[in-house]
Amino acid sequence: MGPMSRTALDTTPRRRALSPGVEWEFERLTISRDFSRNAVTRMLTDRAERGGWELDRVRLSPDGTRRVVLRRKIIRQQRMPYTIY
């Protein structure tokens, strides 16, 4: 993950179904103000390209901390009914 320490980056994965048949996985990141905009952009781009995440929300706190919410769709294969021919 590079130069980011565990205290600088806090993640919490969660799952939620927004509509029937569609389920999303959310990951909340808290990124310290010590990281430059370019470093955060590189990190988020890497997560998008390798993990399939997309940006859902970014909030910048008055102290400079970034709160980021990423999401990705969970695709579940439908089970076929078992039939005997």
Spatial separation of the C-alpha atoms in residues 38 and 69, rounded to whole Å = 18
Structural domain of 32: 9-74
pLDDT digits (tens, 9 = 90+) for 6-48: 445 555 566 665 566 678 899 999 999 999 999 999 999 999 9
Q: Is residue 28, in this structure, part of any structural domain at all? A: yes
Q: Is residue 81, in this structure, part of any structural domain at all? A: no
Q: Is residue 15, in this structure, part of any structural domain at all? A: yes
Q: Is residue 4, in this structure, part of any structural domain at all? A: no
Q: Is residue 79, in this structure, part of any structural domain at all? A: no
Q: Is residue 2, in this structure, part of any structural domain at all? A: no
From the list 81, 68, 79, 78, the residue with the least C-alpha distance to 23 is: 78
Q: Is residue 82, in this structure, part of any structural domain at all? A: no
Q: How far is CA 63 from the centre of its chain?
A: 22
Position 50 pLDDT exceeds 80:
yes
Residue type, 64: G
Spatial separation of the C-alpha atoms in residues 84 and 52, rounded to whole Å = 38
Number of domains in the chain: 1
Q: Is residue 36, in this structure, part of any structural domain at all? A: yes
